[in-house]
Amino acid sequence: MIRLATRADLNLVADLLVEFLQSTSYKNHTMSSNKEHIKKLMFTILHSGYIWLYFDNKVCVGLLAATREQNIWIPEKVSLREIVWYVREEYRRSIGAGKLFIKFCEQAELLLKQDLIQGYFTTRMTTTEDYDLERRGFRLTEKLYIKDN
């Protein structure tokens, strides 16, 4: 089952995000131990975007969070940006994992039709499967690299 998160889900969302942050290549550039910060951030996203939760047998095993944001270069334009798409590893090849992304795309297409956004973005992390986004109408705009110590 997939449903939108509510304020009552913030602890659940924070726990999943800690798992996500610990699995990324950002490592020491994340605040994975600061659950209060994560909950505040997700509370903001609840009001400016969407958080979909993926449940398997009443256990939450994934989420996709996206927020509407103003284009930094053209402030008159607004986009929907996927912030995090995380599914616990043992569920990543399940149909629910893909349904999270489909929910994101459906919501974005609705916002496009209503002229509330002018585009939407998704990110491929180093831990993400190599799925074909261009087949779904996306085009590559950038790659992000980090150098740290």
Q: Domain 2-136, CATH 1.10.3720.10 — does that match?
A: no
pLDDT tens digits for range 53-66: 999 989 999 999 99
- Closest C-alpha among 87, 88, 99, 42 to residue 67: 42
Domain coordinates of the chain in residue numbers? 2-136
Does pLDDT of 11 surpass 80? yes
Question: Look-up: residue for tokens 């020491």?
Answer: 28
* 109 vs 73: CA distance, rounded Å: 22
pLDDT in tens, 60-116: 999 999 999 998 888 999 999 999 989 988 888 888 888 998 999 999 999 999 999
Cross-strand bridge partners of residue 50 = 66
* H helix runs in 56-147, sequence order: 95-113
In contact, 147 and 30? CB cutoff 8 Å: no
**Cα 114 from Cα 118, distance rounded (Å):** 10
Decide if pLDDT at 145 tops 60.
no
d(CA 98, CA 113): 23
